[in-house]
Amino acid sequence: MKKLEKNPQLYRSLFKYSPDGICSLDRNGVLIDINPVLRSILGYSKEELTRMTYHTLIDSQYIDLANERFNLVLDGNIQYFETVCIRKNGDKIPLHITSIPIVVDGDISGVYVIAKDLSKEKEAYRLLEENEEKYRSLFEHNLDAVVELDLDGYYKDGNKKAEELTGFSKSELLNMPFSSLITKDTEKAHDDFEKIKSGSSIRVEQIMTDKNGNVFDLDVSAVPIRKHGEIAGAFSIARDVTEIKQSRKRINELAYTDQITGLPNRNWFYTEITNVITNTPKQMLAILTIDVDNFKEINDLFGHQIGDQALSLISSRLKKCVRSKDSISRVGGDEFIVITQNVKEEEITQLAKQFINKMNQPVLLQEHEVVVTISIGISLMDTADSSVDDLIRQSNQAMLLAKKIGKNNYQFYTKELHKKITRKQQIEWALRDAIEQDELSLVYQPQVDVVTDNITGMEALLRWNPAFGAVTPDEFIPIAEETGLILSIGEWVLREACRQIKKWEKQELPKVRVSVNVSARQFKDKHFPSKVRAIVEEEKVQPSDLEIEITESVMLDVEGASQLIQELKELGVKVAIDDFGTGYSSLNVMKSVEIDTLKIDKSMINDVSENDRMMCLLIAIIRLGKDLNTQVIIEGVETREQKELLKEYQVIAQGYFYSRPLPAGRLQQVWEKHGISAWRNL
């Protein structure tokens, strides 16, 4: 934490005291912060500059280049180039620009610019070429080290700054070749010197060792010396840029390092994985996406500061598991990615197990022992066919499967998983247009009094028949709920059921109540009662002819559920609890709200003739409903034996014994031609 607190101080110190101009820009090129050196270079005040974009400062001849380089930096590329700016007084000033992306939480939010004033160097080159003697004073008193080399590369002259920089006196330098101070890449240095001898000017970075053995970085500009039309040697101007390079390195580290865990970040990961795939496309490569289970609960319980500490502890444990051939990064939130190369599937399995076992050991957060679990998805590449995006997407999908089947486990991406995901995507995309394409329909299953055989109601059930073939409700309804499509589909069902009620009313068929299932997502919408009111009024049906079915699972929020049920009751709409007996939440609701119908789950009627305990439980629930003056419907009645068993308790039955769900048209024909008794023969 102290290290994190210190970083901004280091940054401000560099920003304020750098010998070069520094500024930061947002993604639109607006200047945000400008250090004193750059303000001095440009001749504007800070208030004036912060109202500008860089476009207003660049000479028109250079604006296209500046725009091109700015966009490259926004794509994550560090840029070096020269340009010309216009000072406030109208003077043109040449600058060498270093542009670096500003990365916050893995996203590039702007650009850092380091501007070096080239005016002195440009002027020095011109003056030295015009008249060596005239500018001797410039040579001696230059703020940068200036040396003269002969055609053999030996020092012929040097100013005071050159003596300070190298640690050697002028007399000592005159007996030395320049290459004797070069620490590395001496061959390249000789090649560069040959370019100067051929008439070219160069600007390079070199690493030099001084007389005392100190190693530092130099920014070197060199030009040929011409006398009487012939090249006689070279002038070299050198500046110690060790601190600047270290600062650049630190900025680069910040751009590619996660500040909470110290791990490489998302930017680094994408660069690394692209390099790995490009350089070694045929080897076995695996990506492991690791997501912390229920991490939001840690933040909610302890706060984000402790959450960050937890992430740091988690990353430390993960790092202890990775091997030399593995790379790990934090790509955002509570998600980590591991790249491992040259591995077999058994090794990957072992690594995943090691991650999980390591994390299953409790961590101490604010004196509380907390077990943090993880879910891992794994994708493999053993050919050159897969792209980076493919591998990441596949490992993420496998991770989501690991979460779905219980968390604290790992899953490999497989062809079967691909088929399931493809099928799910196909359903989701088609479901978005299902209403518009007129692919949805309702079927109705009668609810029959077991004593009189009179139909007392109908349950409306949703069916979907898209172009690629019918999809069962068990498959498409969970997807509709997950994506939120259930809200529009649910409204369609309510409206369609009301329209059918109105049609039967106009045809003077026996009046029955129609019940419609409502999903948990619909029921959690505080505007749901008003939507029901609007549909009932628009379709001109009696509210009491409509019954809303909700499952026990939607009533975990007892207070909220009671309020919505009460609002529906005030509309005159009937309310039923579906699948009663599979939970307990509805008992709490029933203490304060009058429920019209209890629908007992079909699991209760199965095997009651052979299970006395189940029969006792069923009877108790029926009596509870009767005592509360509530209609009781038994679902899943499929045999005459079950029907006869229920007669004694005077309940309503629903199931295949009476009818399977049928389209409204077929129900209408049976209603008209055969009457009630025909239900048994459908």
Please write the tens of the pLDDT for every residue from 345-395: 888 899 999 999 988 888 887 777 888 889 999 988 765 566 777 888 888
In a domain? residue 46: yes
Instruction: Find residue 457's DSSP bridge partners.
Output: 447, 513
pLDDT tens by residue, 396-424: 889 988 888 888 999 998 888 878 888 88
Return mean pLDDT, the chain.
84
> Do residues 435 and 494 touch, judged by C-beta distance below 8 A?
no
Which CATH number do you get for residue 208?
3.30.450.20
In a domain? residue 252: no
Which CATH number do you get for residue 456?
3.20.20.450
Asked if 106 and 152 sit in the same domain, the reply is no
Say if residue 588's pLDDT is above 80.
Answer: no
Kindly state the average pLDDT of the residues 585-599. 72
In a domain? residue 148: yes
Confidence of residue 60 (pLDDT cuts 50, 70, 90): very high
Asked if 294 and 238 sit in the same domain, the reply is no
Instruction: Find residue 120's DSSP bridge partners.
Output: none
pLDDT tens by residue, 606-627: 867 667 788 888 888 888 888 8
In a domain? residue 537: yes
Confidence of residue 119 (pLDDT cuts 50, 70, 90): confident
Determine the pLDDT at residue 322: 87
3 state SS of 652: strand
What are the residues whose beta carbons fall under 8 Å from the beta carbon of 578, sequence distance 6 or more? 517, 549, 550, 551, 552, 599
Which CATH number do you get for residue 303?
3.30.70.270
Beta-carbon-side half-sphere exposure of residue 116 (alpha carbons within 13 Å): 15
496: left (phi over 0), alpha (psi -120 to 50) or beta: alpha
In a domain? residue 627: yes
Confidence of residue 127 (pLDDT cuts 50, 70, 90): low
R_g (Cα) of the chain, nearest Å: 39
Phi, psi for 617 (deg, rounded to 5) = -65, -40
Q: What distances in angstroms separate CA 372 from CA 309, 314, 315, 369, 398, one per listed residue? A: 13, 8, 12, 10, 20
Most confident of 165-174, 213-222, 432-441, 591-600: 432-441
- Check residue 471 and report its DSSP letter: B
Confidence of residue 10 (pLDDT cuts 50, 70, 90): low
First to last CA, the chain: 74
Asked if 189 and 317 sit in the same domain, the reply is no
Beta-carbon-side half-sphere exposure of residue 462 (alpha carbons within 13 Å): 29
Kindly state the average pLDDT of the residues 464-482. 89
Determine the pLDDT at residue 353: 92
Last residue of a domain, one of 245, 278, 305: 245
Asked if 458 and 599 sit in the same domain, the reply is yes
In a domain? residue 250: no
pLDDT tens by residue, 285-295: 888 999 998 88
Determine the pLDDT at residue 281: 54
Look at the chain and report how many structural domains it folds into: 4
Asked if 199 and 104 sit in the same domain, the reply is no
Asked if 145 and 214 sit in the same domain, the reply is yes
Of all residues in the chain, the percent with pLDDT exceeding 70 is 88
Kindly state the average pLDDT of the residues 154-179. 85
pLDDT: which is higher, 60 or 278: 60
Most confident of 112-126, 240-254, 442-456, 579-593: 442-456
Q: Which domain holds residue 263?
A: 257-413
Asked if 190 and 239 sit in the same domain, the reply is yes
Q: What is the DSSP string of 598-642?
A: EEE-GGGTTTGGG-HHHHHHHHHHHHHHHHTT-EEEEE---SHHH
Asked if 268 and 349 sit in the same domain, the reply is yes
Most confident of 261-265, 553-557, 573-577, 604-608: 573-577
- Check residue 58 and report its DSSP letter: B
In a domain? residue 682: no
Confidence of residue 681 (pLDDT cuts 50, 70, 90): very low
Say if residue 515's pLDDT is above 60.
Answer: yes
pLDDT: which is higher, 308 or 382: 308
Asked if 22 and 65 sit in the same domain, the reply is yes
Written as one letter, the residue type at 571 is: L
Asked if 650 and 555 sit in the same domain, the reply is yes
Say if residue 167's pLDDT is above 90.
Answer: no
Most confident of 252-266, 316-330, 625-639, 664-678: 625-639
Last residue of a domain, one of 101, 117, 133: 117
| Closest to 252 measured CA to CA, from 126, 402, 99 | 99
Tokens 């240095």 belong to residue: 189
- Check residue 511 and report its DSSP letter: P
In a domain? residue 504: yes
pLDDT: which is higher, 435 or 143: 435
Last residue of a domain, one of 391, 413, 435: 413
Asked if 450 and 571 sit in the same domain, the reply is yes
pTM exceeding 0.95: no
Determine the pLDDT at residue 546: 95
Asked if 274 and 358 sit in the same domain, the reply is yes
Determine the pLDDT at residue 680: 44
pLDDT tens by residue, 550-572: 886 666 666 677 788 888 999 99
